[in-house]
Amino acid sequence: MALPSMRVGDVEVHGLSDGILKTSLDLVLGMERAAADKLVGGTEDGSLYIPVNNFFIRRGGKIVLIDAGAGNTMQPTLGKLPGNLRAAGVDPASVAHIVMTHLHPDHANGLVDDSGKPHYPNAEIVVHQTEAEFWMRADVANDEDRVKGNRARTKINLKPYLDRIRRVRDGEEYLGFTPVLAPGHTPGHTCWLLAASGGGFLAFGDVVHFSAIQISHPDAAVTYDLDRNLAIASRKRILDMAATERFAIAGAHVNTPGFGHVVRKGSSFAFEPAG
């Protein structure tokens, strides 16, 4: 099976799909529906599908996976990652590390199967300390229901991995990756920067959720953002950094396979798919 891939210096990044996620323009904040509809190419009722992309590299003889998909917990069009790994000749048991951009369901529920057993029995989970602390701590009275719900699910997702969770801090390089905290969508949402000879590669998770909208209109937020204003500020900062440094980009919800570059377009940005 030939995999979509992007070479950055001496590193080859491979793309794999977990499937597609049905969502709605009702989730977009800060933009009129008609404008959002036009940007995504039109919808009948505001509903559309966005990709759920995952990525892996081989480094030092080990396989490093970026995010784990949704598993079978959300929609029947998701949960394809383990099967797609096998089809690509990668046994999930051979995955040594899973680098998490954040712990939302479509990125973390795929860590375990329907019975709560690990899809990746030998993998270490790598996550920013801020993200781990927020989702693994006990609820308090004023927490939103959506926060409480994801905390409960996080306990299930991480239970088989509790003795092999590596929490990293800002600026702490690990596996060749450096975490770049981009909070707002979640408190510890993290972009992962991989330095390579002749360039850099940035996995930017949910910096954009609706890529056709939020790259060119970074002030548009989504209801999933726990802190809307902070998410907008993080998005602008990351897009500016990616364009300035000419980083190769892998986006979780950018048109499959999610590879390309962010470029400046007037006072905003555009995405150029890798060709």
For residues 46-61, average pLDDT: 92
Q: What is the mean predicted confidence (pLDDT) over 241-251?
A: 94
Mean pLDDT, all residues of the chain = 94
Mean pLDDT of 19-37: 95
pLDDT band for 167, please (50, 70, 90 cuts): very high
pLDDT of residue 188: 98
- 2 pLDDT band, cuts 50/70/90, is low
In this predicted structure, the answer to whether residue 198 has a pLDDT above a threshold of 80 is no
Q: What are phi and psi of 181, to 5 degrees?
A: -65, 130
CA dihedral 42, 47, 48, 50 (to 10 degrees): 140
The pLDDT confidence band at residue 139, using thresholds 50, 70 and 90, is: very high
Q: What percent of the chain has pLDDT over 70?
A: 99
Residue 76 burial class via C-beta count within 10 angstroms: exposed 0-12, middle 13-18, buried 19 and up? exposed
Report the C-alpha gap between 164 and 212 in whole angstroms.
Answer: 37
Whole-angstrom distance, CA of residue 70 vs CA of residue 53: 11
pLDDT number for residue 60:
83
Tokens of residue 61, six digits: 């003889």
Q: Are 18 and 70 in contact (CB under 8 A)?
A: yes
The average pLDDT across 15-34 equals 95
pLDDT at 1: 54
| More confident site: 242 or 3 | 242
> Phi and psi (nearest 5°) for 41?
95, 10
Of all residues in the chain, the percent with pLDDT exceeding 90 is 88
Query: How far from 96 is each of 8, 144, 160, 242, CA to CA, in Å?
Result: 21, 34, 14, 28
